[in-house]
Structure 1
Amino acid sequence: MSYKKKAEQRKEFREYLSISDKLVLDIKKSGIELVADDEVFVLVNGTNNYWISNHGRLVNNLRGNFRMNKTGYAHFTLSGVDKKIETYTDKLVAEHFLENTDKCNKVWHIDRDMDNCYYRNLVWVNNKEYRNLNCGNLPLEELGRQQEYVPYITLKSTAAYSIWNGIYIRCYRNDNVYDGSFMCDLWRYDKDSFAEWWSAEYYECDGESMAVDKDLLFPGNKEYAPDKCCILPQTLNTMLSNCKKHRSKSKNARNDLPLGVRYDSRMKMYYGEIKPYGHDEVIRLSHWDTPKEAFEEYKKHKQADILIMADKYKNKVPKKVYDALLRFEVKPYVEDWG
């Protein structure tokens, strides 16, 4: 891609961010109490006084104060800029939060509950698909396409910039807690560049919060950069974080045991401990004479747990993430990644 083309794309993206901020309702000024952390209100197209949320709630300030319209599935007659607008709750949500690249004209409720107008419960379909879905002749998964969502849900109005701030704080304001981790100059000095990357890489995963990972694709990497990072569901991110242990500065060897290894002072032997994903019980493994032997047993169990998680998420995460999980090797210390 030419430099000129890249510059044009960056200009369009920055203009988009500016537009998005104007469309998103400032909750602090409106006094509206959100029903969920991910709720976002955006200005209804063709109006100056109506905002629809991704949870299917419509508000207006026609009389100066913000008022909530009828919730659930309902018909509305809105006072538009040029004309009256006849519409329905699900249609408003779909028009403002769902991409409609195929120019479909019907909205299908995934759980068949018309009152559930949450944007992730909706999908655009055409007339034929709607009839077949309604008659039970077409399973939803056989539509042959994945519903995409309007990106301002995850950009400046919510996640991208707060995530940038979190990375910056971890790298530069926490007394080097992250052991030398740093941001590439592009991201460190240009938040919009990070937001562009986040928007391009972002994907939904069963409603989980998403996190930036810097060392799954490149074990031992310390740089937050677009060609080295990936986005992970929080469950996977937490699992991988629990696979890391730094060497202790203590001179006492028992305080510097490898990841997952404990010392049994009664038997004067070492053993591994693991809590498989989804289990509350911590499992104690066999006793060994040395920390190295105990770690090798722990490693086998931990690797198996990671493989199970990789397969669980196989069809939910990008292929590069799945492949990296299969390659992931548990090390006794972070420093061993080199």
Structure 2
Amino acid sequence: MNHKEVSNNLETRICNKCGRELPIGSFRLMDNKVNAPYYLGQCKACEYKYQREYIEANKEIKFSDDLDILINRQYKEIKQERVLNLSVTGIIPIGTDENFVRLMDYRDYWISNYGRMIHYAYKRFSLLNGSYDSNEILGYRVSKNILCNGRWIYKQKTVYAHRLVVDEFIVNPDKQNNVYIWHGGYNKDDNYYRNLYPLNKEQYKIVKQNYIKTGDDSEEFILKVMNDIRYKPDNWSKPSMEPSVCGIGYCGDDEVDCTSQSYLRWVDMINRCYNEKFHERQVQYSDCEICDEWKNYSNFKKWYEENHYRIGNEQMDLDKDILIKGNKVYSPDTCCIVPHGINTLFITGKKQRGDLPMGVCFEKDKGKYRAYMNYQGKSIKLGTFDDPATAFVVYKEYKENIISDLAEKYKGMIPDKVYRAMLEWNIEVND
């Protein structure tokens, strides 16, 4: 530190830490009754900052004595329909396990588990370079489908590679609070999914502090931090982690409105998948399941509130069948909110039709196969035929046209991913 005698003429001085010229009152006056009084060379702000950094760096990290590991490291199961076939792109993977998965709310973009992004435009696939912000975080400029003044439109925005990787490949146990992402080895250039950890603010601070002090950011240490109640948000409690709905679903925090629309939809979804009495009435749901993230109500609530919208007074349904045909998993990547009229178009009715193709029934009195379609509460008769295959072809053409027409009617009022899925819908005989 610079020691200078106090001068009555000195009104400002330059801090030897931050380099700013500041009023003399911004520096601490030292008077130890031995030497002549002098001002410290660093300003009070820099002095305080150094003291806080020293305290944080040397503070001992402690864990609860009865630490229970309730949260483990989990990775998402990716639907194959979302995985890009690299052989048609001409792009070489940087790792044998690199996979690019479609981003459902973006216009023809795929993100890989290494943080690389591919865009399809002008009939070709391109690997995007991205750019780095002031914090040295890799981002991409993309078009995202968003709701704006009651219409779904595409809007340019910057998205960050590490956040997309976490969202698409890693099970985040607490999406409400885990908005900080730790890069293994504090290497912000490393966006490989196995080296990224979604954490809350306090957890991130502890992991960073320990890494700076000891060099340890092992998965074992991070899991201890994630599970210790000392580093949980205020609204967290152990009872909130107990599976209280069908032995599967848990609330995730203590502040739950059990009368809210999101909660009622969540409970209904769990009952559809795991309630045996419900399966006695609706057997088609007996092999359905819910992704790990949505077993936590607080995660489902966040998604539901971000994706819910209204179209006049129409009933809006949670659908799992439209985006990925034959899907049996309720998840953020496979579900969407749609008007009830659209949702009912994709009911297959396997239980009622028996072994016959969809849209076909046998009329005993005529000895013929009838093609028909139930739509808007009415049964539309499409003709009778000698064999079920011919009847199905007629039904298939008619219903695909209905779906296509309805997609055009709701264009802009429904998310583009729903609109495009409807236009591309292909009815098959074994549906």
TM-score (norm 1): 0.49
Larger Rg: 2
**Structure with the bigger percentage of strand:** 2
